[in-house]
A and B are shown apart, each in its own frame.
Chain A
């Protein structure tokens, strides 16, 4: 049953440290001195995880067979690809939060932050489905505290959306995991067990729904552009840069071991991904708040990742290449989004001369996201292109990819413009966390060139032809921007994109009627009648049974 129970590992200390360090921070928060320096804990908490991602031997495993039906943590290749960017961005964003100042109610923020961090590390290092699910839920619901931290009406509305949609996803995942557990019938819930379960199509559908909600794929994205921007800057960075990717990791975990069984899902996922790519770009152009634009860009980029994941399913032959593309995307998008969000926060708190420099520097992650040659984004998109060409889906998909590059360029230009237009602050911000932001920029820029992250050495030798090929979509995007959007504010109108706004529970006729019925059920005469009816029902149930 436990097909993947590995050999007991050499060095589980890495995992123990990584997993317990955030909880130590939580314990520290229980003390008075810990609460005073609450935010200062944040950058330290993910450091062991970062070290593990860089230094731990391959397939480090921590098995706790006595806990529940057996619990396993494992740092395999898949986990490492997600752990490195996650730990890096959590560290940098935590550093930002610790030095930025101006965050109210530090201990509360730190508490939710550490909980979300624990959940995120737990789900990445999870060696079985059960642990993954618990980490996922912990991260998701702890992040609610980060979303509503500012306490404004807007934040609360976003929080309601976030919680409602995440809870729907949670119920789906709960059912799916329980179905797997039923199929396994006790013992550890290996990721591979999904394929053995009867009714696995339903299980995959439930997983797909839950994970697509987290990724914000088109149709299930309503919470994302609301929730990501209203959080404080460092929280936005981790939400958009790291936590969002739990969806793709989960999907990869439950589908990749099953190859041909799941290939039917591939084309649908690819189609949804493609729609999401363009939907995100067009919706982002509708907004003028720079953080909201960034959130829409995340939606769009997750579309690309979904496209890759779908491709890996549809064409099992390209799975290895697609997986490489995903790892690149995860790493590059985490760093780029982190740099952009943190930069946005810096920009909003700085004076005019600093602003000019910042804007210039922020062009680097923006262009990298767009996929300008010699940036990390370029390599990510090259991997995507390569696997598309391999798959035989024909040139039209490559054309779509080109269009998406142009679209992202357009969106990023729009972002920089909206950033430039944000009003200056009345008072200079108390702290200026240049260092974490600078480090994020440095990591991003050096990603394609240096070997600091061993798995991310560029796999493609650039040639002049490729260069020209990949430059023109960017130029097209810029041209479109200057032609259509520069200096003006232009809006697309989506027909009825705010349909489902009325989430508030209002006293309607139905509620009043139900309350009346309840009042009537409190009368003694009614109670007597109900009592007799109940007796009759039970009596007949007993009699019929015999």
Chain B
């Protein structure tokens, strides 16, 4: 029986949202109901995979019984189930938020696209095949663009810019994949592992793939599309984009550079990637400080926070406390996803009840529903990285690794990023806590606030339930 479960579990994660999307397309009126049922199913399946990897270890599966290089392989390991968990909670939570928001101004295409996005993300985190990754990246982009465009007239141009950037990224990625295939006749990551060497064409291929991912991950200085796209989209979509969709690019960079590309990860390249991350942390933080709209501030904060993930390259390359750095980056992706989703969702609640998101008119948590402010504050504390939140654990590990390597410049960047985060979030939270706090009288606002609160609390979990540095859940090939 158990071997079947190994096959069925991962497949369900892709098939269930796809069929649900078709069902929601055919019956738009039942969209929310179909979503809730399938979301429950997918979340349970994701949790089951986490448990299985946690207890039984990682495994691979070949779709349809075809063995690579001809077939397509999926891998289920610590890193991918962590991302699946992030996806399940953020997509599930933001979807519930959308259900609570009600049908007003609601396009019938929302639920099919939303489920499509979820399925694409699940497939992306499971794929072990480079071409399959390209296809899933395109799936995700298509769904994401259409969802952004639902933000109304002001969202059209950001959606367009995002689409061009992400298509360009995918095509550059695909060129790299084509180069690799020409050399090796295989695109399975496990088969490529150890087969790649520092030959010119392979270097070029890895470079093209990385450039495509940098564009898709909005890494400084290629972050031009992100703030407007994430800031203008509907709040639930912003939460999904900032929490999961962008991080997919970072996931792939970590996966590839510590997997098949690891022989080519030279110290100079690690330094270059780390420097881009560091500049992103600082530039994104300063830009967040200068924003006038709450959602734009949160979007710039994404540019800043995800820069931390790139610090993993120089820190791991230094070879001291590499596991700490690696775990710090993974926990950062997770806690950032939860906290950022909570921030966007609570911003959505505030916009709904106050009618605007201008920071100078918010004047602190005295106005609007108390629940949304509580969620915002909890998410913000985790984003800053104050103990004992989950964000603290991430920065704690990254900082330890930087200090152990004697890399004071990275340590200073980590601390300065925390400081900047604290300052720009304090701009929002520092106003008077007194005022006309409304105890969110209507049902839907309360439900929306609750989903935001639950996501914010999820960002605190790694602070209390430590993710083991060793052990089954850390079972990821390619981990240093």
Most chain A CB within 10 A, of B222, B433, B437, is at: B433
Which residues 532-546 in A have Cβ within 8 Å of B in the complex? 534-535, 537-546
The answer to the question of A171 belonging to the interface, with a C-beta cut-off of 8 Å to chain B, is yes
What separation, in Å, do the CA atoms of A175 and B426 have in the docked complex? Answer: 22
B268 near A544: Cβ-Cβ < 8 Å: yes
Give A518 to B222 CA distance when docked, in angstroms.
11
Neighbour of B268 across the interface among A159, A171, A175, A541, CB < 8 A: A541
Whole-angstrom distance between the Cβ of B14 and the nearest chain A Cβ:
32
Please, which residue of chain B has its CB at the minimum distance from the CB of A540? B268
A480 in the interface (beta carbon within 8 A): no
Q: Are B224 and A522 in contact (CB under 8 A)?
A: yes
Q: Does B281 contact A (CB under 8 A)?
A: no
Nearest A residue to B469 by beta-carbon distance? A186
Report how far A173 CA is from B283 CA in the complex, Å: 25
Q: List B contacts of A138 (CB < 8 A).
A: 387-388
Asked if B18 is at the interface of the complex by the 8 Å CB criterion, the answer is: no
Q: Which of A176-184, A276-284, A322-330, A442-450 contacts B (4 or more CB under 8 A)?
A: A176-184
Tell me whether B128 is interfacial, beta carbon within 8 Å.
Answer: no
A101, B434: Cα distance in complex, Å = 17
In the assembled complex, the CB of B470 is this many whole angstroms from the nearest CB of chain A, namely: 11
Decide yes or no: A156 and B403 within 8 Å by CB, A138-B387, A174-B415 being known contacts. no
Establish whether residues B400 and A542, one from each chain, have CB atoms under 8 Å apart when the complex forms.
no
CA separation between A518 and B288, bound complex, in Å?
A: 11
Q: Is the beta-carbon distance between A534 and B430 smaller than 8 angstroms?
A: no
Give the residues in chain A near B96, CB-CB below 8 Å. none
B241-264 Cβ-contact flags toward A at 8 Å (1 or 0):
000000000000000000000001
**Nearest chain-B residue to A177 (Cβ)?**
B396
User: B109 within 8 Å of A by Cβ?
Assistant: no
Residue of A nearest to B431 (CB): A156
- Docked-complex contact A174 and B399, CB < 8 angstroms: yes
- Count: A-B pairs, CB below 8 Å: 126
Chain A residue with Cβ nearest B434:
A151
Considering only residues 64-112 of chain A, those with a C-beta below 8 Å from chain B are 67-68, 104-105, 108
Contact B203 A546 (CB under 8 A): yes
Known: A167-B422, A182-B403, A505-B289. A542 touches B207 (CB 8 A): yes
The docked-state distance in angstroms from the alpha carbon of A167 to that of B418 is: 10
Q: Does A196 belong to the interface (CB within 8 Å)?
A: no
Chain B proximity mask over A293-327: 1 for CB below 8 Å, otherwise 0: 00000000000000000000000000000000000
A457 part of interface (Cβ distance < 8 Å): no
- Indicate with 1 or 0, residue by residue over B427-469, a CB within 8 angstroms of chain A CB atoms: 1001111110100000000000000000000000000001000
Do A178 and B400 have beta carbons less than 8 Å apart? Answer: yes
User: A171 touching B221 by the CB < 8 A rule?
Assistant: no
Which B214-228 residues sit within 8 Å CB-CB of chain A?
214-215, 221-224
* Alpha-carbon gap, A190 to B425, bound state (A): 34
Interface membership of A170, Cβ < 8 A: yes
Chain A: minimal CB distance from B379 (Å): 15
Residue contact B214 to A534, C-beta cutoff 8 Å = yes
Q: Is B287's CB under 8 angstroms from A518's CB?
A: yes
Q: Does B33 make an interface contact (CB < 8 A)?
A: no
Give B384 Cβ to nearest chain A Cβ, in Å: 9
B139 contacts partner chain A, Cβ-Cβ < 8 Å: no
B399/A175 in contact, CB under 8 A: yes
Is A377 an interface position by the 8 A CB rule?
no
B399 touches A178 (CB 8 A): yes
Q: How far is the CB of B2 from chain A (nearest CB, A)?
A: 29
Interface string of B201-240 (1 = CB under 8 A from A): 0011011001100110000011110000000000000000
A179 partner, pick from B215, B403, B426, beta carbons under 8 A: B403
- Residues of B near A68 (CB, < 8 A) are 466
Q: Which of A141-149, A385-393, A462-470 is found at the contact surface with chain B?
A: A141-149
List residues of chain B with CB within 8 A of the CB of A159: 430
Encode B384-427 as 1/0 by CB contact (under 8 A) with A.
Answer: 00111000000110011001100000010001001100110011
Tell me the bound Cα distance from A182 to B223 in angstroms: 34
Q: Which of B272, B283, B286 contacts A537 (CB 8 A)?
A: B272
The answer to whether the Cβ of A205 comes within 8 Å of any Cβ in the partner chain is no
Majority SS at the chain A contact face:
helix
- Of A523, A539, A545, which is within 8 A of B267 by CB? A545
Give min CB distance, A426 to chain B, whole Å.
Answer: 20
| B266, CB-defined interface residue at 8 Å | yes
CB contacts (< 8 Å) of B290 on chain A: these are 511, 514-515
Give A218 to B321 CA distance when docked, in angstroms.
39
Chain A min CB distance to B431 (Å): 7
Distance in Å: Cβ of B367 to nearest Cβ of chain A: 12
Q: Which residue of B286, B321, B431 is within 8 Å of A182 (Cβ)? A: B321
In contact, B426 and A543 (Cβ under 8 angstroms): no
Is A546 touching B400 in the complex (CB atoms < 8 A)? no
Contact of B430 among A67, A141, A160, A182 (CB under 8 A): A160
B35–chain A nearest beta-carbon distance, Å: 29
- Inter-chain contacts of B271 with A (CB < 8 A): 541
B269 contacts chain A at the CB level, 8 A cutoff: yes
Complex CA gap A138/B388 in Å reads 8
Decide: A546 and B198 in contact? CB cutoff 8 A: yes
Q: Write out the residue numbers on chain A whose beta carbons fall within 8 Å of the beta carbon of B411.
A: 175
**Is the Cβ of B211 less than 8 Å from the Cβ of A542?**
no
Give complex CA distance A134, B403 in Å. 20
Q: How large is the interface on B (under 10, 10 to 19, 20 to 34, 35 or more residues)?
A: 35 or more
A522 to B268, CA, bound (A): 28
**A232 CB to closest chain B CB, in angstroms?**
12
Q: Does A16 contact B (CB under 8 A)?
A: no
List residues of chain B with CB within 8 A of the CB of A152: 432
- Contact check: which of A160, A534, A540 meets B211 at CB < 8 Å? A534
Q: Check A24 for interface membership: any CB of B closer than 8 A.
A: no
**Complex Cα spacing A406 to B207, Å:** 74
A4 on the B face (CB < 8 A): no
Q: Which residues of B contact A108 (CB under 8 A)?
A: 433
- On whether the beta carbons of B287 and A514 are closer than 8 Å, the reply is yes
B54 within 8 A of A: no
- In the bound complex, what is the Cα–Cα distance between A397 and B160 (angstroms)? 74
Closest Cβ of chain B to A521, distance in Å, is 6
CA distance A538 to B432 in the complex (A): 48
Do A171 and B269 have beta carbons less than 8 Å apart?
no
Does chain A have a CB within 8 A of B57?
A: no
A112: nearest residue on chain B (CB-CB)?
A: B433
Given A137-B386, A514-B290, A518-B287: A178 in contact with B403 (beta carbons within 8 A): yes
Q: How far is the CA of A362 from the CA of B214 in the complex (A)?
A: 67
What are the residues of chain A within 8 A of B478 when measuring CB–CB? none
Contact B269 A545 (CB under 8 A): yes
For the complex, is A531 an interface residue (Cβ under 8 Å from B)?
A: yes
Is B366 located at the chain interface by the 8 A CB criterion? Answer: yes
Which single residue of chain A is at the shortest CB-CB distance from B396?
Answer: A178
Q: Which residue of A lies closest to B385 (CB)?
A: A174
Q: Are B386 and A175 in contact (CB under 8 A)?
A: no
Q: Report which of B224, B426, B434, B437 forms a contact with A521, defined as CB distance below 8 A.
A: B224
> How far is the CB of A343 from the nearest CB of chain B, in Å?
26
Residues of A within 8 A of B276 (CB): 534
Complex CA gap A544/B381 in Å reads 41
CB neighbours of B430 from chain A (8 A): 156, 159-160, 163
Residues in chain B near residue A148, CB distance under 8 A? 432-433
Cα–Cα, bound, A170→B422 (Å): 12
Is A527 part of the contact surface with B, judged by Cβ < 8 Å?
yes
Contact partner of A134 among B203, B210, B215, B387, CB < 8 A? B387
Q: Are A151 and B366 in contact (CB under 8 A)?
A: yes
A181-B400, A182-B403, A521-B224 given; A149·B433 CB < 8 A? yes
Residue of B nearest to A527 (CB): B224
Whether A133 sits at the interface, judged by CB under 8 Å, is yes
Contact: B386 with A170, CB < 8 Å? yes
Least Cβ–Cβ distance between B274 and chain A, in angstroms: 11
Alpha-carbon gap, A511 to B283, bound state (A): 12
Q: Which residues of A contact B (CB under 8 A)?
A: 67-68, 104-105, 108, 133-134, 137-138, 141, 145, 148-152, 156, 159-160, 163, 167, 170-171, 174-175, 178-179, 181-182, 505, 511, 514-515, 518, 521-523, 527, 530-531, 534-535, 537-546
7 contacts between A and B (CB under 8 A): A150-B434, A163-B422, A514-B290, A534-B276, A542-B266, A545-B266, A546-B203
